[in-house]
């Protein structure tokens, strides 16, 4: 019989790719959707799956809506991807971020405990939990030192998932995912900001690109590859936590060079530093060790940073050429 999944954060980058992946596997896919004034369904439309997913209204902050969603969907698997996920905003809205990104994880876990404790649960943990790490390469046992309200909130979500696993035998797995991007990445994140700007500059529609700390280093992978790892975690016999990363790190500067060079441009002619874009506390360098995921899940990243950035530039060139909204 076909399995059923409920995805919170279905309108986000990962929610859209995961929906497509699960639909292709024959799942019934339900999306838990917080109604907003604006159109948040564009990613599902972009991937051509809007008509294939079933939407249930709700909000992570509202436990009753989560209970209702579990009862209506009869989900076998819940993927908790919803969050206030932009690190920069987490200093401007620290309380909301703590409530949505951190505290709400316990709402999802409580809903599972109350409705059907056999449901398998995936929590979207993050490399931001490592923050000011002293380890050159981070794995599942690396000590956490989050640097933002977002990172602190995610750490709560991570540990409460482990706690419900240990306390109530809930099948809860946390994926510690390093940065992953795609043509449907939010425009506020640095990769998409850069690829979109490079395309506009190429077409003469923008003249400068203002960035913050371009010496920050990240382990960037492709979201489409990473959603498979989420699914694999819930297909195991026992719940566990996994680092998902490419095992390679690059600076924002190097990423800019790749994006602009692809279009025959020199990024140094266009990028300017704006001190206002620096963060109150920065995560300087992240590099993940995906060894455990390879050994236990048989997962490894297929797409590395250069190929990823180039395909994002291609997609943004199409958007600018056709005057399509950038979202």
For residue 276, CA distances in Å to 88, 213, 272 come to: 11, 10, 12
Q: Binding pattern to ligand NDP, positions 59-78, x when CB under 6 A? A: xxx-----------------
* Structural contact between residues 87 and 148, judged by C-beta atoms closer than 8 angstroms: yes
Count the site residues for ligand NDP by CB under 6 A.
25
Catalytic residue list contains 128: yes
Q: Choose among 1, 7, 9: nearest CA to 234.
A: 7
Tell me which of 17, 122, 150, 262 is the catalytic residue: 150
Q: Which of 110, 212, 291, 300 binds ligand GDR (CB under 6 A)?
A: 212
Tell me which of 11, 17, 30, 128 is the catalytic residue: 128
Is residue 245 a contact residue for ligand GDR (CB under 6 A)? Answer: no
**Size (the chain), residues:** 327
Is residue 277 a contact residue for ligand NDP (CB under 6 A)? Answer: no
Is residue 13 a contact residue for ligand NDP (CB under 6 A)? Answer: yes
29 Cβ contact list (under 8 Å, min separation 6) = 4, 5, 7, 10, 19, 22, 23, 52, 53, 54
Give the range of 91-99, 123-131, 225-233, 238-246 binding ligand GDR by CB under 6 A: 123-131
Strands (E), the chain: 4-8, 28-33, 54-57, 77-80, 120-126, 172-177, 180-181, 209-211, 217-218, 221-222, 241-244, 250-251, 271-273
Both structure tokens of 95: 């309380």
* Structural contact between residues 27 and 5, judged by C-beta atoms closer than 8 angstroms: yes
Q: Binding pattern to ligand NDP, positions 84-113, x when CB under 6 A? A: xx--------------x-------------
* Structural contact between residues 259 and 195, judged by C-beta atoms closer than 8 angstroms: yes
3-state SS string for 50-113: HHHCEEEECCCCCHHHHHHHHHHHCCCEEEECCCCCCCCHHHHCHHHHHHHHHHHHHHHHHHHH
Is residue 184 a contact residue for ligand GDR (CB under 6 A)? Answer: no
For residue 164, CA distances in Å to 21, 78, 128, 175, 269 come to: 27, 14, 22, 16, 52
Given ligand NDP, ligand GDR, none, residue 34, with its beta carbon under 5 to 8 Å by kind, binds: ligand NDP
Distance, CA of 150 to CA of 87 (rounded, Å): 6
Is residue 127 a contact residue for ligand GDR (CB under 6 A)? Answer: yes
Is residue 219 a contact residue for ligand NDP (CB under 6 A)? Answer: no
Is residue 161 a contact residue for ligand GDR (CB under 6 A)? Answer: no
Is residue 281 a contact residue for ligand GDR (CB under 6 A)? Answer: no
Q: Which of 147, 193, 200, 224 binds ligand GDR (CB under 6 A)?
A: 193
Min dist. Cβ of residue 36 to ligand GDR (A): 18
Is residue 279 a contact residue for ligand GDR (CB under 6 A)? Answer: yes
Given ligand NDP, ligand GDR, none, residue 218, with its beta carbon under 5 to 8 Å by kind, binds: ligand GDR
Residues that bind ligand GDR (CB under 6 A): 85, 87-88, 126-128, 178-179, 188-190, 193, 211-214, 216, 218, 252, 277, 279, 282-283
The catalytic residues are 126, 128, 150
Residues that bind ligand NDP (CB under 6 A): 8-9, 11-15, 34, 36, 40, 59-61, 81-85, 100, 124, 126, 177, 179-180, 186
């Amino acid at each position: 019989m076909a399995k059923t999944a409920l995805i919170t954060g279905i309108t986000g980058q990962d929610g859209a790719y995961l929906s497509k992946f699960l639909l292709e596997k024959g799942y019934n896919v339900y999306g838990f959707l917080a109604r907003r004034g604006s159109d948040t369904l564009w990613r599902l439309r972009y991937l051509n799956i809007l008509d294939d997913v079933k939407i249930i209204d709700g909000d992570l902050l509202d436990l009753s809506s989560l209970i209702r969603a579990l009862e209506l969907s009869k989900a076998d698997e819940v993927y908790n991807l919803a969050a206030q996920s932009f690190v920069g905003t987490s200093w401007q809205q620290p309380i909301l971020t703590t409530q949505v990104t951190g505290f709400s994880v316990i709402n999802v876990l409580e809903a599972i405990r109350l409705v059907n404790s056999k449901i398998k649960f995936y929590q979207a943990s993050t490399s931001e939990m490592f923050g000011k790490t002293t380890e050159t390469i981070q794995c599942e046992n690396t000590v956490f030192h989050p640097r933002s309200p977002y990172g602190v909130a995610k750490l709560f979500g991570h540990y409460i998932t482990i706690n419900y696993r240990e306390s109530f035998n809930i099948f809860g797995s946390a994926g510690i995912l390093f940065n992953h991007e795609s043509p449907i990445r939010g425009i506020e994140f640095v990769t998409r900001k850069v690829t979109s700007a490079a395309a506009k500059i190429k077409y003469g529609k923008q003249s400068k690109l203002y960035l913050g700390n371009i010496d920050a280093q990240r382990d960037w992978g492709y979201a489409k590859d990473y959603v498979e790892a989420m699914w694999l975690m819930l297909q195991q016999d026992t719940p566990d936590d996994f680092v998902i990363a490419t095992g390679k790190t690059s600076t924002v500067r190097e990423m800019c060079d790749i994006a602009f060079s692809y279009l025959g441009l020199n990024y140094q002619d266009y990028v300017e530093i704006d001190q206002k874009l620096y963060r109150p506390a920065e995560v300087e360098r992240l590099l993940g060790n995906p060894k455990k995921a390879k050994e236990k899940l048989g997962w490894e990243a297929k797409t590395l940073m250069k190929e990823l950035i180039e395909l994002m530039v291609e997609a943004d060139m199409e958007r600018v050429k056709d005057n399509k909204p950038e979202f």
